Amino acid sequence: MHTVAILAYDGMTGFESGLAAEIFGMTELSPLFSAGIARPWYSVRLCAETPEVRLLGGATVHTSYGLEALADADTVVIPSVRDIDEPVSPALIEAIRAADRRAARLVSICSGAFALAAAGVLDGRAATTHWIYADALQARYPDITIDRAPLYVDNGRVLTSAGCAAGLDLCLHIVRSDHGVSVANDVARRLVIAPHRAGGQAQYIEMPVPEATDDGRIAAGMAWALEHLDAPITLDELAAQCAMSRRSFLRQFAKATGTTPIRWLIEQRVQASLPLLEASSLSIEQVGARVGFESPVTFRYHFVRQMQTTPSDYRSCFAGRPAQ
């Protein structure tokens, strides 16, 4: 049984620890469990320095797991620290170091990176945190390479995420690494979240929230495009499916999604290629053609740009066999 220890502490919110507990403690994957995945697939433990911790809002949480259980876990999740200027508890630092010595997987969400940094496990590694805290983390721990762009950074055994909600992306990434794309996608569907969010933190720093639209024609056009990803799709065809002029379609699509139709279409093509790379025997060229890319070069370019790895390396990692 793979144990996941989630840190709890006085003054925390329930969001970050809750999202990790929800994903790693999920028990409603019946079709996938019947296909051979152990049930329960992770054993989740809420760990704290004291048996009782107080949450924001007046709630109190009791747990029977202390920092010893955290140090012994296979995966350790550190949510945001209460205050980045407050010294990290020596007991927590020692527990993190003990887990590190055992080669446990260490995960931080948002400002939880400060706890990992205080324990020294981020030295010499790339890491991320919420963009608000990036400068402070870099100034305090100069041996860390701070990457402000991504939603999360995976160093193999030490992983860090950006803001609180990016913890969802990171936890799904861990499930994807452990159990594959199909399982991660099923988890995402049950949580009603995107299985993979393209882009990084910059989209949330620099761009306003897209203006909402109640025009169902855009949604219908997007649904049509998803059913025809294997064929060339032009802007004029998309506009026609939405019964709009090209100019009106571009304006309404931006309001609905915050992006352009072509950029959205490329993202959907890359996402559609993932299960094919993992589970099919199609060549890389055939996969690219199957999801509508004009050439293997175009497929590879957009795949690397979105996924930060090549289609071949992705297949090797998630399919567990050499790329064709």
For 4-60, write each residue's pLDDT tens digit: 999 999 999 889 999 999 999 987 655 555 455 555 589 999 999 999 999 988 899
pLDDT at residue 40, rounded to an integer: 58
Domain count, the chain: 2
Determine, yes or no, domain membership for 211. Answer: no
Same domain, 41 and 182: yes
pLDDT, mean of residues 284-306: 93
Strand segments, DSSP code E, in the chain are 2-7, 42-47, 52-54, 60-62, 75-78, 105-108, 126-127, 145-146, 152-154, 158-161
Same domain, 168 and 241: no
Same domain, 122 and 248: no
| Structural domain boundaries enclosing 259 | 217-317
Same domain, 101 and 250: no
pLDDT at residue 212, rounded to an integer: 47
Determine, yes or no, domain membership for 206. Answer: no
Determine, yes or no, domain membership for 309. Answer: yes
Helical H segments across 14-56, by residue range: 15-24, 30-34
Same domain, 12 and 142: yes
Determine, yes or no, domain membership for 201. Answer: no
User: Using the 8-state DSSP alphabet, how is residue 157 labeled?
Assistant: S
Same domain, 302 and 265: yes
Determine, yes or no, domain membership for 207. Answer: no
Report the C-alpha gap between 260 and 262 in whole angstroms.
6
Same domain, 136 and 228: no
End residue of a domain, out of 157, 191, 225: 191
Report the C-alpha gap between 205 and 110 in whole angstroms.
15
Please state, as a whole number, how many other Cβ atoms lie within 10 Å of the Cβ of residue 182.
16
End residue of a domain, out of 139, 174, 191: 191
CATH of the domain at 156: 3.40.50.880
Same domain, 129 and 263: no
CB 323 within 8 A of CB 284: yes
Determine, yes or no, domain membership for 210. Answer: no
Determine, yes or no, domain membership for 209. Answer: no
Structure tokens at 220: 């219908």
Per the listing, tokens 């690494």 go with 177
pLDDT, mean of residues 286-300: 95
Per residue in 241-290, pLDDT tens? 999 999 999 999 988 887 899 999 999 999 899 889 988 899 999 999 99
Same domain, 96 and 223: no
At residue 208 the predicted structure's pLDDT band, cuts being 50, 70 and 90, is: very low
Number of H helices, E strands in the chain: 16, 10
Same domain, 45 and 187: yes
pLDDT at residue 37, rounded to an integer: 55
Q: Residues of the chain with pLDDT > 70: what percent?
A: 87
pLDDT, mean of residues 202-207: 47
Q: Which residue has the higher pLDDT, 232 or 198?
A: 232
pLDDT at residue 136, rounded to an integer: 96
Q: Which candidate, 313, 52, 5, 20, places its Cα nearest to that of 165? A: 20
Same domain, 154 and 224: no
Same domain, 121 and 226: no
Q: Residues of the chain with pLDDT > 90: what percent?
A: 63
Q: What is the pTM of this model?
A: 0.67
Determine, yes or no, domain membership for 26. Answer: yes
* Helix (H/G/I), strand (E/B), else coil: 60: strand
At residue 101 the predicted structure's pLDDT band, cuts being 50, 70 and 90, is: very high
Q: Which residue has the higher pLDDT, 241 or 318?
A: 241
End residue of a domain, out of 174, 191, 208: 191
CATH of the domain at 254: 1.10.10.60
